[in-house]
Amino acid sequence: MEQTLSIIKPDAVAKNVVGKILSRFEDAGLRIAATRKMQLSRADAEAFYAVHAERPFFGELVEFMISGPVVVTVLEGTDAMIKNRDLMGATNPKEAEAGTIRADFAESIDANAVHGSDSVENAAIEIAFFFAQKELS
Ligand code: CMP
């Protein structure tokens, strides 16, 4: 059993498609181990995305992630990390395969509806960033 972190970003929360996106995870056989709606602080967003601090898009990424509430979720199941990435589609929604979350709900590479951990190792780090062990079923 593997766990991975999903963030439903401010654009998708504003569009009122949180339930639709969570259903896609469940329909694919993933379980919701923990979930929370929250407003990220600037410090939260900068720390969460610290790996991108030197990238030219870092400032816009942080601004976008604090522009409204997000829904952070721990997904659990066999091959959860890669399953979630397949469900999300490519980072740039213009390159995302039809039927993926980003193809269906995202507008741009910044407002791209969802984040998902990109490795099992990073998933553990990202889950611990948001959730205490006792919150994880
Ligand atoms: P995410 O999976 O949340 O990880 C970092 C985010 O940076 C990414 O999704 C995009 O929303 C955003 N981003 C903006 N520009 C780029 C870019 N050129 N390459 C990768 N990510 C980008």
Contact 12, 105 (CB under 8 A): yes
CA distance 80 to 3: 6
Index of the ligand 1 atom closest to the CA of residue 7: 3
Amino acid, res. 8: I
Confidence of residue 126 (pLDDT cuts 50, 70, 90): very high
Ligand 1 pocket test target in 52, 55, 85, 91 with most atoms within 8 Å of CB: 91
Residue range 78-96, pLDDT digits in tens: 999 999 999 999 999 999 9
The predicted pLDDT at position 112 comes to 98
Residue range 15-39, pLDDT digits in tens: 999 999 999 999 999 999 999 999 9
The predicted pLDDT at position 83 comes to 98
Confidence of residue 137 (pLDDT cuts 50, 70, 90): confident
Please return the burial class of 2, using the count of CB atoms within 10 Å of its CB with bins 0-12, 13-18 and 19+.
middle
* pLDDT exceeds 80 at position 114: yes
**Alpha-carbon torsion 55, 56, 59, 60, what sign?**
negative
Q: How many CB atoms lie within 10 A of CB 63?
A: 12
The predicted pLDDT at position 49 comes to 98
115 lines ligand 1 (CB under 6 A): yes
